[in-house]
Chains A and B, each alone.
Chain A
Amino acid sequence: LISDGQQCPLVVVGETGFQVSDEVYTVTIGATVPTGFENTAAEEVQEKIGANAKISKDRGRIYFQITTDKLSQVHHLRSVDNLFVVVEEYDNYQFKDSKEETLEDLQKLASKLPWSDALKVWNMNTTLKKKRGPHRQPQGPRGRGRGKANKVTLETDTMQTETIEADIVETDTVETDTVVTDTVVTDTVETDEVPGQELGAKVLKFRVTCNRAGDKHSFSSNEAARDFGGAVQELFQWKADMTKFDIEVLLNIHNVEMVIGIALTEESLHRRNITHFGPTTLRSTLCYGMLRLCKPQASDVILDPMCGTGAIPLEGAIEWQQAFYLAGDNNDMAVSRTVNNICHIQKKRRDKGSISGLPIDTVQWDLCHLPMRTSSVDIIITDMPFGKRMGSRKNNWDLYPSCLKEMARVTRPGSGKAVILTQDKKCFQKAISRMGGLWRKHHTVWVNVGGLHAGVFLLKRTLGIFGQIAEDSREGKESKPHEEKPGEERKKE
């Protein structure tokens, strides 16, 4: 619990009218992460911030404490999608039985909450963001209805604007993907607001987003957001605006756990590296989580044989530069997008004055006939095609064993690893079970990708030499699994 109404010796009035001081205090930060990767995210927080993260029972969320002077560090975390500062948390909130009473409680709650510290953090964060310059505007209308104007500009003559088919984000809403660009960020951009000058001049706009999970609630998330929001508006005299808001208040309810927070990230950080999207581009946070699982070491040769737009190897090349990445695909568009995405990052780095070269190369190939020397690869990391969206269930049945064999050939026996994301878990596990001489299952992380349940399989390459193991040859007359029933249509990702 953070107490309200602290006395600050140095008081500077910021643009919002809230008191901003130089005093340093501790706050709780919440972060949403790809479901299944809570542990890797907690590891990153420990590593980069030195804080012990608590993993919420509400999947996909972690919490940790920081002192306010370290606020900027949270924006360097690569495993988190969204960040928020906690206003208050309840482990065991007693919701009343009736809807009316519950909603009334929520309304009354608004004025009792310790807003002050969280709002100061929000304010600090806003200032921080301004100093970093106008940041990229990813997709257009996304997820929870945040409609920011989508900036689409023509890139250099090596790239083209393209509209790519829609992609689904975890909140089950369709985003339209388009080519995006950064406005050039110069670190010396100064905010032109001097504390004190705009005292009370600006009325803040806000909205409330409610995420609710649980069987025993008498109310819907919309109702909670509406009523709680109403009370917040009365309390602060802010203006409600669903799309052009300054402050987003979060009301997260998971059974009897309730967390009220204020968002610190405007757009989700999850697509940070990719400007040229494809139909199946993975979130960068998910890529990061997968890479962390395989723990890249210096001089590791890391191969993505079905790289799509290059999201995974590119995240690796940026974050674990001591390894070398080979991104490959058979598809012309995928190869082209990968090259464009890499060029884009390199250009950004050049513009910032850093050395632009990244330890990554792209090749066009067929993953069942990899043009690679035997045992030349240390790690294979990839997102395998999902069921009906990219391949088909029937194709996967044939594809998986051939892939796995070829991947085993190129991977170093004994030390080699593979980290493979697939939604076709049954097919994959079956294929692996027939490869015991070459691959051994080490660990599996169950994740959620675009509303679909998938598995990230961590495999270790056995000491078995390829070509000398009986089990690496496919048994002939295996009967195929029955075709998927029509009712089991998968959502397009």
Chain B
Amino acid sequence: MKLLTHNMLTSHVKGVTKGYPLLIKATEVKVSEEEFNPNFVSRMIPKLEWSALVQAADGLGHLQDLPTELIADYEANEDFLRKVHRVLLEVEVLEGCLQCPESGREFPITRGVPNMLLNEEEA
């Protein structure tokens, strides 16, 4: 599970109103290279919840020097875009779980795949 994906995932347990962002509890994390596309990154940034991204990266110990606040004029700042690229696409959680911040319900992550299926009572 990449952090870009995590940024879009939310808990949908019945009755939960504050199901985002999910807390990451990782037991295995991998960093792998992915081709850098500055256009992709700069257009993706407005679609992200920036603080959730920073929080997730930090929780995994992969924040490095990514700014906690979005900088102005990032479109032209390749250095910054590369940092965002790394955190969005290159850091992957392979094993662990995602936890609903409100209900505490845990969703396991296996082989990089979060299992978000709910039981009948939770749906």
Interface residues of A (CB under 8 A from B): 158, 298-299, 301, 321-324, 326, 330, 335, 339, 355-359, 361-366, 369-373, 376-377
Assuming the contacts A324-B44, A339-B111, asked whether A373 and B116 have C-beta atoms less than 8 A apart, the reply is no
A354 CB, nearest partner CB in chain B, Å: 9
Assuming the contacts A299-B44, A372-B9, asked whether A363 and B113 have C-beta atoms less than 8 A apart, the reply is yes
Among B29-37, B53-61, B62-70, B73-81, the stretch that binds chain A is: B29-37
Q: Which residues of A contact B12 (CB under 8 A)?
A: 369-371
Q: Which residues of B contact A301 (CB under 8 A)?
A: 8, 47
With A356-B32, A371-B12 known, 6 other A-B pairs at CB within 8 A are A322-B39, A357-B89, A361-B2, A363-B9, A369-B12, A373-B20
Instruction: Give the CA-CA distance A158 to B9 in the complex, in Å.
Output: 26
**Contact: A361 with B1, CB < 8 Å?**
yes
**Contact: A364 with B115, CB < 8 Å?**
yes
Q: Which residues of A contact B11 (CB under 8 A)?
A: 371
Q: Which of A335, A355, A366, A372 contacts B35 (CB 8 A)?
A: A355
Instruction: Give the CA-CA distance A339 to B112 in the complex, in Å.
Output: 9
Interface residues of B (CB under 8 A from A): 1-2, 4-5, 8-12, 20, 32-35, 37, 39-41, 43-44, 47, 49, 89-90, 107, 111-118, 123
Instruction: Give the CA-CA distance A76 to B9 in the complex, in Å.
Output: 36
Q: Which residues of A contact B10 (CB under 8 A)?
A: 371-373
Chain A contact residues, majority secondary structure: loop
**Contact: A299 with B40, CB < 8 Å?**
yes
B115 CB, nearest partner CB in chain A, Å: 4
Instruction: Give the CA-CA distance A301 to B88 in the complex, in Å.
Output: 13
Q: Which of B20, B37, B113 contacts A362 (CB 8 A)?
A: B113
Instruction: Give the CA-CA distance A373 to B49 in the complex, in Å.
Output: 10
Q: Which residues of B contact A373 (CB under 8 A)?
A: 8-10, 20, 49
A438 CB, nearest partner CB in chain B, Å: 19
Q: Which of B4, B40, B123 contacts A366 (CB 8 A)?
A: B123
**Contact: B9 with A371, CB < 8 Å?**
yes
Instruction: Give the CA-CA distance A362 to B109 in the complex, in Å.
Output: 11
Instruction: Give the CA-CA distance A324 to B20 in the complex, in Å.
Output: 21
Instruction: Give the CA-CA distance A371 to B8 in the complex, in Å.
Output: 8
Assuming the contacts A357-B34, A358-B34, A371-B116, asked whether A376 and B39 have C-beta atoms less than 8 A apart, the reply is no
Q: Which residues of B contact A366 (CB under 8 A)?
A: 116-118, 123
**Contact: A357 with B35, CB < 8 Å?**
yes
Residue of A nearest to B100 (CB): A371
Instruction: Give the CA-CA distance A357 to B118 in the complex, in Å.
Output: 30
**Contact: B33 with A355, CB < 8 Å?**
yes
**Contact: B116 with A364, CB < 8 Å?**
yes
Residue of A nearest to B41 (CB): A299
Assuming the contacts A335-B113, A357-B90, A369-B123, asked whether A298 and B1 have C-beta atoms less than 8 A apart, the reply is no
**Contact: A322 with B35, CB < 8 Å?**
no
